[in-house]
Structure 1
Amino acid sequence: MVKFVTKTGSNGQYYFSLKADNGQKILSSEGYTTKAACLGGIDSVKANAKDDSRYDKKVSTNQKYYFNLKAANGQIIGTSEIYESSSGRDNGIESVKSNAPGAGVVEE
C-alpha cells in the first residue's frame, strides 16, 4: 500500500516521503519546522498530485532524471528519487498522480 511516512530528522525538522508498496521512495519533502506544517505539505501533495502542470521534469548534471512537484504558488513540495531514464521518471509521476491523493499517513 502506498503511504506517506513522516519522520523527525536529527536536526529537529519534520520530513515526509511518499513510499511505494515495495518501500521505495517516490517523493520526498524538504524540512519543515513544525509537524503541522509537514502534514500541510502532505495535504498540498494530495491536492496538487493530479494536475500535470504541477510537475517540473528535470535532468541532473550527471544526466539522470527526476521531477519536482510544485504547489500553485510555484513552491516545491516534493522531489522525486533519481531515475536512470526519462520513462522511469514519467512512471514515477504517474504513480504520484494515481496514489498520492488516497494515501494514508504513518509516523516513522
Structure 2
Amino acid sequence: MPGTFEIYKDKKGEFRFRLKSSNGQIVASGEGYPTKAGANKGVEAVQRAAAGAKVVDKTD
C-alpha cells in the first residue's frame, strides 16, 4: 500500500504537509506555507521529484 500525504495547519497557522508510510510513520515533511494551495504545490513537487529520484550514498 502506498504512503499518504497529509496537509495540516501547524501551531503558527501555517500549512504543512507530511508523508506517512502505510504503517503510519512520518517519513518526510515539508516547510510551512502561508496557503493551502502552496502546501498542495509542495506535495506535487515532491511527487514529481521522487518518481525519478536516485539514491546517492554519501557515507564513504
Which category describes the TM-score, using the shorter chain as reference length?
0.7 to 0.9
Segments ≥4 residues shifted beyond 2 Å: 55-58
CA distance in 1, matches of 2:44, 2:4: 13
> Taking structure 1 as reference, are residues 48 and 36 closer, same or farther at Cα in structure 2, changes over 3 Å only?
same
1:27 matched to 2:28:
yes
Query: In the superposition, relative to structure 1, how do residues 23 and 15 fare at CA in structure 2: closer, same or farther (>3 Å)?
Result: same
Q: TM-score, normalised on structure 1?
A: 0.47
Provide closer, same or farther for how the CA distance between residues 10 and 24 of structure 1 changes in structure 2, counting only shifts above 3 A: same
Which structure has greater helix proportion? 1
Identity value in percent: 35
- 1:8 corresponds to: 9
List runs of 5+ in structure 2 lacking aligned partners. Answer: none
Equivalent AA in structure 2 for residue 9 of structure 1: D
Q: How far has the Cα of 1:30 moved from its partner?
A: 1.0
Counterpart CA distance in 2 for 1:10 and 1:31 is 11
Shift of 1:56: 7.1
TM, length-normalised to structure 2: 0.81
Aligned to 1:75: none
How many Å separate the matches in 2 of 1:46 and 1:22? 19
* Higher RCO (CA-CA < 8 Å; seq separation 6+): 1
Cα offset, 1:31, TM superposition: 0.5
Q: Structure 1 pair 16/56, CA: closer, same or farther in 2 (3 Å)?
A: farther
**Aligned equivalent of 1:48:** 49
Q: CA deviation at 1:10?
A: 1.5
Query: Which consecutive residues of structure 1, in runs of 5 or more, have no partner in the other structure?
Result: 59-85, 87-108
Whose strand fraction is larger, Structure 1's or Structure 2's? 1
User: What is the RMSD of the two structures over their aligned residues, measured on CA atoms?
Assistant: 2.1
